[in-house]
Amino acid sequence: MVLLTPVDLGPRSARNRVMFGPHVTNLGDDDRRFTDRHVAYYERRARGGCGTIVVEGASIDASDWPYERAPLADGATAGWASIVEACAPYGSLVIASLDHAGGQGSSAFHQRELWAPSNVPEVNTREVPKSMELEDIEAVVGGFAAAAANAVDAGCDGVEINAGQHSLVRQFLSGLTNHRNDEWGGDRLRFAIDVLQAVRRAAPGVVLGLRLSCDELAPWAGITPEMAPNLAAALTAHGVDYLVVVRGSIFSTHATRSDFHSPPGHNRELTQAVAAAVAVPVFLQGSVVDVAMAEDAVGGGGAHCAGVEMTRAQIADPDLVHMLAAGTPERIRPCILCNQTCQVRDNRNPIVSCVAEPSAGHETEDPDWYAPAARPRSVHVIGAGPAGLEAARVAAHRGHAVTVHERTRAVGGLAVLAGPGRPLAEWLVAEIARLGVDVSLGDPVTEAHTLGVDRSDVIECTGSQPGRPAVELENGACLFDIVDVVRGAVSLPDDGDVALLDPIGGPIAVALAESLAGRAILVTQDHIAGNQLSLSGDLAAANTRLAQAGVRIERRTIPRVVTASGVTVSDRFTGERRTIRCVAVIDCGYRLPTPSLDGVTNRAGDCVAPRTLYEAILEGRRAALAI
């Protein structure tokens, strides 16, 4: 496979064409330093075979503190050196990402003004940055050079300059954010060129990479795909050894890490156009999580690029390259592009992880889930949702003989019915089949003692049941449960409006509303539909899709009474009541655990408390390890 062949990046050669790109991990400490958690995180991907690892971006100047645990290059030398030392035995190149978020940063931590080319308010925070003065520009250019020298001293194989999302360098390049009338506005490339030249002088003989937004998705003033080839050629002429093509701007922060709503590999044509215009290796970035797509991009009939960034794919499965090299690509744990736990710049301030691989980001504290059991046992797992399937998979890996009992005729639980979880559920099913797990369908187990084994060898993963809707039902009224609707257990009328009662603000109600399009009336207590989608970066995009689909949204609205002809609601603030006429009402609210089996204490997933796919997988592992 071409994907597994070496590629020269200037003075170094990467052992394959797979890159683990820079991303926010929140694994740093309070002093903005790289930690042992970083070292273990990157070592795990190097051990899994990744060719080039680009470390989380480090701010090159104290004027930039974009998130609480953002690394600072001035104190990063020791951390970079530890990462290099940990990855060296596996032959991965280690590249230090150098960054300054400019006007897209935050003043919350250093309590200083933000620096930017011009006084353009930051779209998310509405904060107005300072228009950088000459001494500020000189400080930042010097900061990039000093940071590059520190990275070389630490043993890094090179550095990568960020001119992509959340980047001061891109802000100087773009008409969206650079309104200057001096030499850095008359020639918008000047700042980027100054940075590249300063870094090249400070770090000779190592790899110099550039991450460049080639489509800001704002054609009225931003960088467009038509501009990108010439822009890339002009910048890479200044000592750049490789280029990563990305997209996004201040108006589209979700675009650089788009979720499953965007087609995987969405930057392929743009990358191909840029690659044709430059003389350096170009890497494709953009939701490439499938190895077949990656191979086609580098080795297909019209090869698009020299390499592929597969960051989220390697968060989900750090052994992706090894699995591919072993000829078992079907065993690669899939990334489902949910952004649920790998996108961490939000008000929770969590560390990076993955719904499919909860040990991601927790390499220093998680146990060896697959350690052989001291005594193989006959293990029975009740329920074949994600928690049960993962419990069965890990228990089988540990040497137990495992039987899964599922009351329905299908496996996968809610994960195969709503959201992007189906590929993960299907992977789990294939893995337990490979491991010899016995799956008994249409087999409700209501009492554990009937299994004929010790209750300590039973894992309960029976999922959830409908909750108690906070609405009254008039005589003749019908309230459908959303799970029954998506499962096909009930049928909605063919015509007429359908009200979706969504007290959660989660993705399932939004997805159903999208599918119903102009028939849907989404009733939410919040000021905006799908409030919880802010955690995955899909909030703005989801509301755009709802508007385009013609969904009617009733905001700040509390449902009170479901009638035969609709639902009576009240305004959240005034209490004023009115009636929404519709032919069906669907409860999209909270669910409750199923009743516990007698005497079983080893439980996992929604039967403990209904939550997300992440908790289901993690608790399934813990339950298997407990036997």
- The CA distances from residue 348 to 27, 68, 110, 504, in Å, are 14, 11, 19, 17
The token pair that represents 474 in the structure block: 């008039």
- pLDDT given for residue 301 in this prediction: 67
* DSSP structural state of residue 102: G
Instruction: Confirm if 147 and 60 have CB atoms less than 8 A apart.
Output: yes
- Judged by DSSP in three states, 401 sits in strand
Determine the pLDDT at residue 30. Answer: 94
Identity of the residue numbered 209: G
Question: ∠447-452-453 over CA atoms, to 5°?
Answer: 95
Q: Which residues of the chain have pLDDT under 50?
A: none
What DSSP string runs through 230-278? HHHHHHHTTT--EEEEE---TT-TTSTT--TTSPTTTTHHHHHHHHTT-
Rounded CA-CA distance 114/101 in Å is 9
| Residue among 551, 576, 620, 589 nearest 357 (CA) | 620
The alpha carbon torsion through 198, 201, 204, 209 (nearest 10 deg) reads: 20
pTM confidence score: 0.96
Report the amino acid identity of residue 70. Answer: A
What pLDDT sits at residue 302?
Answer: 63
If you count them, how many residues does the chain have? Answer: 627
CA Rg value for the chain: 26
Please name each of the domains of the chain with its CATH number: 2-331 (3.20.20.70), 378-464+595-625 (3.50.50.60), 468-589 (3.50.50.60)
Q: Are 284 and 245 in contact (CB under 8 A)?
A: yes
Alpha carbons 600 and 388: distance in angstroms, whole number: 14
So what's the pLDDT on residue 472? Answer: 94
Phi and psi at residue 443, to the nearest 5°: -130, 80
SS3 call for 8: strand
Q: Around Cβ 515, how many Cβ atoms within 10 Å?
A: 12
Task: Enumerate the β-bridge partners of residue 404.
Answer: 381, 439
